[in-house]
Structures are given as C-alpha cells and as structure tokens.
Amino acid sequence: MATAASRRIEAFLVGGGLRGQFSELPLPEILVHLRGTQATGILTVVSGGARKAVYLKDGKVVFAASNLPNDRLGEILIREGKITAEEYDVSIRTLSKGKRQGRVLVEMGALSPKDLWEGVQFQIKEIVYSIFRWEEGQFQFEESSLPERERITVDLDVRDLIVAGLRKVDASGKIQAHFPAPDLVFEPAGELLATLEPYEQHVLKLVDGERSALEICQESEIGDSETLKALYAFAAVGLVRLKGKKVRPLDQDFVPEEEAESVLHAFNLMYGYVFRYMVREVGPIAEKVLEKYIGGLRERCHPVFTNTRFQKDGTLDPGSIERNLNQLPEDQRRGRLVEALNELLYAELLAVKRTLGLEHEAAIIRAFRQR
C-alpha cells in the first residue's frame, strides 16, 4: 500500500526522474526518496543564478558540484586555513590543461594528499548543506551513470546529511512551515544515528509515543523553534514516526456546535481571560510573552490567521477572521477554524506554563471549566 510520502512523490515523477519546486517538495523528502529507491543519478538544483548538482550512487551521495566561486575547492581551502592566498594564486597560474587545482597544490607541497582528500570531502558536504538553506528554487533528478572523471568521491548516508543540513537552517525562517503541528504525537522508530549532537539526543529521548509536539517543546531545553526543527529532521529521516494526534481535554468542553461566529466568541472569552491573567501576574510584558509563543502559529494556521492580530484585550478581531474564512470552501470553514483556534489556545497555555508554572496553567483550565 502506498504511504503518504510516496503519494506526495508521485506528483513530481517524470520520465527517468523527478522535477519540481522546493516550495512544493522540500529537499529532505527528495533525498529520502532517492535513498529509499537506491537511485543513481544527478540531482540538479537551481535558484536564481546559482546551480548546484548532487551525485548519488545506490541512494548515497558521492559527489557535489557548484557554479558559485565560494564553493570552489581553492576558496574553501583558504577559508579553512589549509593553504595561503599566495599558494592559491601560484596554483592558479601553474594550472595546465587536464590538471585540477588540488593536484597542483599537492605537487607544489602546499597540501598533503590527506588534506586534499579531506578538503574535497568537506567541499562536497558544504555544497549539499548550502542547499538546505535555499527557501526557493527548482530541482530535477535524472537517472544516469555518473561521470568517471571524478576520482575523489565520498560515500555519505543521506540521513546524516539531512540532519546536519537542517542543523544549519535558521529555525525562525520559512522552515517553520514544515514544523509538526503542536498536537501531533510521535513514537521512536529506526536506529539511532551516531552523528546526532547531544542536544538532539536530548530531544529524541522526549519522544515516547505519549507526549505531543507541544509537550516535547515544554520539556525541551533548547527552545520551541529548535525543538520543532529537530522533530522535523527526525521525522524526515525515519528516527520517529507519527502515531496520531493528542486528545485535547478542552476540545469537547469548549467548542460550541453552532456556526463559526459562536465558536470564535467562545474562544475569544478564553483568550481574553488568559491575557488578563497574564497581565495580572507579569504586568505589561504579558503581550510580548504571549506573542513569542504564538508568532510562528500564524504561518502554520494559514489561511485562518492571515493578517490577523490581537486586539487590546487579547482577543482576535472577528472581522479579519470572517474575511479569511470566506476564502475557504464553506464545508471546510468550521473545521479549519476550530483547529486553528485550538492551536492558538494551547500555545497560550504553554506560554502560561513555561512563564508562570504548571499550577497557573491548571488554575486557568479550572476557571474555564467553571464558566
């Protein structure tokens, strides 16, 4: 039976490979697919004037190339302090047809054979890692035999590359669109990667098949965005798998059966209460505290929260919510609204718990139940 991941890939299949946009199929999913199919060929990626190529053999990365000057071996060796600028210039002047700069540097005595091999491997990894930071671009994979001209190659596991590549991505950027929803529950799956950093192992140990992504963020010591980025990486490479959604104790108690207007009113009562509670406990900074926890939520709940902001009393503006809902098919409006409002409520409760403590969150929930 086809998995959700394989069904997503089907839309990008072309004769002899894949083609599409990173905005529609991110790099981790592409590489995982190529690893799973043990593909051999060249993955070419283009963004603006930049063009990079990743060579795979039997699902493993063996080489990479780039048209950017900063990705050239000589430039990298200078940045890493392996050669001097003078040695670089001399090697360029003495290049002859058919020779590569690395060989010339070894023949000059500026570089040892060991340093050359390590430098090329470092170059390949850096080219691949740089692609993870691209927020847009086109990709194409073509099945083919690899060029025999490349003498120095690597044998890199795609899973290690994905985790290391995502490690270098800004967790506050567009990658948040791929973060797991707060109510998703993951369970361990697959063998532990030896290349995980200690802080990543810390997050992975919190995945127990019971905690939601929101609860893992609560227990994690590295902050919400970095924790969610780690969970995204783990899910991408198969270290964890989705078990289901966390049952929310407030869902059935506080979601009216009426139309969207009544649903929003019920939630606004709770948002206003949380805001007043926080102002009473921490003062005027309450607004900034809450904003910190819900900032990334607007992107994930698009389009319900598009251009929506809190009012001065901590409630949502009904007019902007209504305009957003009108852009959705009528049969989807209530479901999408309830999902988005619930995520916002639980983000606020997480803010209370982490700022004031568990007893304050419990006090707010008790107040909700007594209303």
Q: Are residues 15 and 148 in the same domain?
A: yes
Number of domains in the chain: 3
Q: Are residues 134 and 15 in the same domain?
A: yes
- For residue 3, pLDDT over 70 is answered with no
In a domain, 168, yes or no: no
Tell me the one-letter amino acid at 171.
A
In a domain, 313, yes or no: yes
Provide the residue range defining the domain that includes 296: 251-370
Q: What is the pLDDT, as a whole number, of residue 297?
A: 65
Q: What is the pLDDT, as a whole number, of residue 257?
A: 56
Across residues 27-37, what is the average pLDDT? 94
Q: Are residues 153 and 12 in the same domain?
A: yes
Report the Cα 72 to chain-centroid distance in Å: 27
- For residue 370, pLDDT over 80 is answered with no
Percent pLDDT > 90 in the chain is: 45
Across residues 131-139, what is the average pLDDT? 92
Q: Are residues 237 and 256 in the same domain?
A: no
Q: Are residues 198 and 330 in the same domain?
A: no
Q: End of a domain among 189, 212, 245? A: 245
Q: Do residues 231 and 254 make contact, with C-beta atoms less than 8 angstroms apart?
A: no
Q: Are residues 184 and 258 in the same domain?
A: no
Q: Are residues 255 and 241 in the same domain?
A: no
In a domain, 167, yes or no: no
Q: End of a domain among 245, 275, 295? A: 245
Q: Are residues 13 and 141 in the same domain?
A: yes
Q: End of a domain among 213, 245, 277? A: 245
Between 160 and 5, the higher pLDDT residue: 160
In a domain, 302, yes or no: yes
Of 28, 23, 21, 44, nearest in space to 232 by CA: 28
Q: What is the Cα–Cα distance from 296 to 176, expressed in whole angstroms?
A: 7
Q: Are residues 307 and 350 in the same domain?
A: yes
* Listed range (28-37, 173-182, 226-235) with the worst mean pLDDT: 173-182
Q: Are residues 180 and 120 in the same domain?
A: no
Q: What is the pLDDT, as a whole number, of residue 330?
A: 85
Q: What is the pLDDT, as a whole number, of residue 2?
A: 44
Per-residue pLDDT tens digits for 262-271: 888 888 888 9
E-assigned strand segments in the chain: 13-14, 17-21, 41-47, 50-57, 60-66, 138-143, 184-188, 240-245
Q: Are residues 132 and 178 in the same domain?
A: no
- For residue 250, pLDDT over 80 is answered with no
Q: Are residues 16 and 145 in the same domain?
A: yes
pTM of the model: 0.69
Q: What is the pLDDT, as a whole number, of residue 97?
A: 66
Report the Cα 100 to chain-centroid distance in Å: 37
- For residue 251, pLDDT over 60 is answered with no
